[in-house]
Amino acid sequence: MSKFPIGNKRYSRVKDPIDIMEYLEYMGHDVAKFGHGQYQLVAHDSLKITPSKNAFYWFSRGVGGGVFELMTVLDGITAKKDRIKLAREIRAQRGQDFRPRQIELQTATTPFELSEFSFTNDMTASINYLHDVRQINQKIIDSLIKADLVRQEIRHTHDNQTIRNLWFVWYDEHHNIIGADIIGTQSRQHGKRGGYFHGIAKGSPSGQAGFHFSIGPQPFPDKLYVFESPIDAISFWQMNDQTFNGQNIGFLSISGVKVHTLANHLQAFYTDNGQYLLPSEIHIAVDNDKTGREFAKRILALLSVSEAFESVKLYLDTPTDVSQKDWNDVLRYGKWGVRQTEMAAVDTVPLYQANNK
């Protein structure tokens, strides 16, 4: 009997009386394919199902389990006797040729049109921001420019002022530009994060894709590192550049703590012949605060019920200096160092302590 965490509990997978997909179809819930061996409800896209383990996890509510738990949280069938009775009814009606019904999942987004934006080859403002404000070294900056991972956008205001924004470019699997994270290179009088504008380019599939890149000789990384922002990903690369030399490393920014962005990115590890070339390690390196910690637990819950990830080692990477919350702060103000913890032990890792700064 295997166990995996569900919320603050541990759910023990036992032999359920019926198949979880069978139950969903019997109750009229539409199910769509979502990734390798996983499905999700069309009406509740944060409810993920892993049929091979007869289990689900509902991210937006932080609950999960097996068929009986699903009866309770999804359809309000709380009495044990009623759940058993329903399971027996479904079992009696099941045919031997049962196959779950699926529909194709469609994701509607505002179309991204690169032609709607204007860019300049003069990267001076963006280079100065990265180097002077964020303390990214010139070697890293040059690598980003050469790979067309960063661009400088220009906008003109109604009073003929020119605004220069730094783009962290998002690519799809065909190397088409599909969106970007945007940071203003000129400080404003008011605003967050030191007064610099932060946003997402209009039409970017936020929550479905993000800024990502790889280093190393092979197309599929052996290790994947996940961050909340492009700046954190780049800062982490800079601090560990010598350690990563010669390795195949992937970096992904999810623009916050968006589970779907990571889940969708993992689909890129499928090859044309149907193989699933997952990295041997996935490192969650989001901000070392409560929000980041809850995200790490959600990822653990999601991946632990998928057979495809059984051989993948999951880690939480946090600054050894707990007075710094994110990796750019570590680069600029803190003592460099990474605390690497197996994901199952995330509750043992100290959180950011603001009063230590």
Full set of structural domains in the chain with CATH? 3-93 (3.90.580.10), 114-356 (3.40.1360.10)
pLDDT at 101 over 50: no
Lay out the sheet containing 150-156: strands in order across.
Answer: 119-120, 150-156, 162-171, 177-184, 198-200
46 falls in which pLDDT band (50, 70, 90)?
A: confident
Long-range contacts, stretch 158-164, CB < 8 angstroms, 24+ apart: 164/120, 164/125, 164/126
Least confident of 4-13, 72-81, 220-229, 282-291: 4-13
Q: Which of 82, 23, 93 is nearest to 51 (CA)?
A: 23
The predicted structure's pLDDT at residue 136: 98
pLDDT at 182 over 50: yes
The predicted structure's pLDDT at residue 274: 60
Number of other CB atoms surrounding residue 57 within 10 Å: 25
Using alpha carbons, list the distances in angstroms from residue 341 to 12, 319, 320, 349.
24, 11, 11, 8
140 falls in which pLDDT band (50, 70, 90)?
A: very high
Q: Decide if 216 contacts 247 (C-beta within 8 A).
A: yes
pTM, entire model: 0.72
CA distance 244 to 50: 34
pLDDT at 104 over 50: no
